[in-house]
Structure 1
Amino acid sequence: MRWRGRRGSANIEDRRGRARGGAVAGGVGGLGLVALLLFGYFFGIDVSPLVNQQQINPDGSTQVTEADQQAAEFVSVTLADTEDIWAAIFRDELGQTYNEPTLVLFKGVTPSPCGNASGATGPFYCPNDRKVYLDTDFFVTLSRQFGARGDFAAAYVVAHEVAHHVQDELGILAKANQVRSQVSQADSNAISVRIELQADCFAGIWARHAAESFGTLEEGDVLEAMNAAKQIGDDQLQRSAGRIPSPHTFTHGTSEQRQRWFATGYQSGDLRNCDTFGSARL
């Protein structure tokens, strides 16, 4: 992905390097929390190295490395691309104004209205404050622990979380979560899967428009995103944790489903083809 030297987003709230303090106990919590990876919380994967190997300054703040800064610049450019693309789609196809989300960069732990964000929760979108939360160290975990390498794999992560904001803008997320609060845990999980697969499809639409509008995609980029979708499927994550996949516990979809819905968005570029709630086949 050709991103260096391109416009970055102004909608970045950088909390890295701040002193660590306040209550950090508590869950991933909050109805509507849509974490991309619930690997530590749900699947028993040891994420303590990610959380504990922070470089702490004497004043209790975390140290921002050169790698952190490069990751932040990459995220800023990717976020700017999502702003341009979704603004155009909302204007040209929906006749609406797209309200841009804020992306919070942090290291270690930071509070959110949906619960504390940490390396263990993975990136997520919080509808309560309409912000995306992302620990820049997560990209290292994505590559080393999950085998999802490449800058476009990381771009897919950002685009997926922004896609939840798009769902929020369209009123989809609030309606889906209202239903989730009224049904059994198994049914709530099933609705969550539809939310996540639609976000994958929207991320595919973003990738299609990024290729057409900016010409920033390089050979192999889409394959990197597809591999990332595969590596973070619920079935793959449960197998990696030494468990037999249990479909009733899935909250994000299988590897095959995540790849297929991303591909649907990328190949069609059409919001109408991302109706996971009306689809008989997920």
Structure 2
Amino acid sequence: MDLNGRRESDNIEDVRGQSDAGPVGRGGGFNIPGGIPLGGFSFRTIIIFAVIYFVAKLFFGVDLLQILSGTPSGQVGSSYSQSQSNGANSAEDQAMKKFVSQVLADTEDTWTGIFESMGKTYERPKLVMYRGQWSSACGEANSAVGPFYCPSDHKVYLDTDFFREMQQKFKAGGDFADAYVVAHEVGHHVQNLLGILPKFNQARAKMSETQANAMSVRVELQADCFAGIWGKFTQQKGILQSGDLEEALNAAHQIGDDALQKQGRGYVVPDSFTHGTSAQRMKWFQRGFDTGKISACDTFSGAI
């Protein structure tokens, strides 16, 4: 990508290197391992939790902390594991901040124009760059969660060490591959503004796990398609360079549910898919890229 001279977004919150003050909305407090918020709890309540935990662990072999430390409520995004590193002020970190802020700025310009063409106003999301863990309105963001969008606070959460994981573990490196990750999460923000995410989250409460997973796949594939729309506009601006599109398609392939499950467990369980297969993710990103139209990204009608 040629981002030289491109503007940087003002909507970046870089909290790498900072310590988290506590769960959002609790005015401080702290978490015990596993992400259970204790701010505002009485000492008696804490004792009760402790008794329940040890009884479950001793007699049933159930670790409640592991159960309660899952994906933060309402998050939409990846669930890929990440590596961690220290420091936040290195030249590499500053270069990454500039890159992410330029990509975010370009998504802002793209979606502002698209929304204006529909007679709507695009609300620009914030993007939080963190390292290790941070609190969101959807719960704890941590290195095991991966990049995600929180519809409750309209923010994208990104541990940029995920880009290193993309390159080293998933063999999906490249600047446009990294930009695709940002554009995908911004795609969820677009879904939120269009009312798609609220409808999905409301309907999900009445679905079985298998049904919810199947619907989640359609939500994620639409976000891929929206990322492709952004890619189309970057191409028209002359930002893309030779090989960039192939980088994004390779990333979509490497982080498909089937590819990840084959790598992690050696076999696939289709009913557990939440993001789509490699072929599906490539297909819908390409469709958005080819058409540049929201109407072409209807993943909820017919086969995907």
Q: Is the shorter-chain TM-score for this pair beyond 0.5, marking a shared fold? A: yes
| 2:129 counterpart SS class | strand
Alignment of 1:86-125 (within 5 A): 86-92=111-117, 94-125=118-149
Note if 1:82 corresponds to 2:82.
no
Note if 1:11 corresponds to 2:34.
no
Matched residues, percent identical? 50
Which aligned segments of 4 or more residues in structure 1 are displaced greater than 3 angstroms? 28-31
For 1:25, the aligned partner's letter is: G
TM-score by length of 1: 0.89
For residue 245 of structure 2, what is the aligned residue in structure 1?
A: 222
Alignment of 1:122-161 (within 5 A): 122-161=146-185
For residue 281 of structure 1, what is the aligned residue in structure 2?
A: 303
For residue 39 of structure 1, what is the aligned residue in structure 2?
A: 80
For residue 25 of structure 1, what is the aligned residue in structure 2?
A: 34
Displacement of 1:210 after TM fit?
Answer: 1.4
Give me the CA root mean square deviation. Answer: 1.4
Residue 183 (structure 1) aligned to one of 207, 216, 224: 207
Displacement of 1:39 after TM fit?
Answer: 2.7
8 A Cα contact 2:136 2:150, kept in partner:
yes
Relative contact order, CA 8 A, sep 6+: which one is greater?
A: 1
Inter-partner Cα distance in structure 2 for 1:32 and 1:111: 13
Displacement of 1:5 after TM fit?
Answer: 3.1
| 1:71 counterpart SS class | helix
TM-score by length of 2: 0.83
For residue 232 of structure 1, what is the aligned residue in structure 2?
A: 255
Inter-partner Cα distance in structure 2 for 1:215 and 1:202: 19
8 A Cα contact 2:73 2:139, kept in partner:
no
For 1:137, the aligned partner's letter is: D
Structure 2 alignment gaps of length 5 or more: 22-29, 36-68
Inter-partner Cα distance in structure 2 for 1:190 and 1:243: 22
For 2:274, the aligned partner's letter is: T
Inter-partner Cα distance in structure 1 for 2:71 and 2:174: 30
Which deviates more from structure 2 when the two are superposed, residues 237-246 or residues 226-235? 237-246
Displacement of 1:113 after TM fit?
Answer: 1.6
Inter-partner Cα distance in structure 2 for 1:100 and 1:20: 24
Displacement of 1:67 after TM fit?
Answer: 1.4
Displacement of 1:243 after TM fit?
Answer: 3.3
Larger C-alpha radius of gyration, 1 or 2?
Answer: 2
8 A Cα contact 1:28 1:117, kept in partner:
no
Residue 69 (structure 1) aligned to one of 78, 94, 103: 94
Note if 1:196 corresponds to 2:225.
no
Note if 1:265 corresponds to 2:288.
yes
Structure 1 alignment gaps of length 5 or more: 41-46, 56-61
Inter-partner Cα distance in structure 2 for 1:73 and 1:230: 27
| 1:134 counterpart SS class | strand
Inter-partner Cα distance in structure 1 for 2:12 and 2:186: 13
Inter-partner Cα distance in structure 2 for 1:156 and 1:29: 22
8 A Cα contact 2:12 2:126, kept in partner:
yes
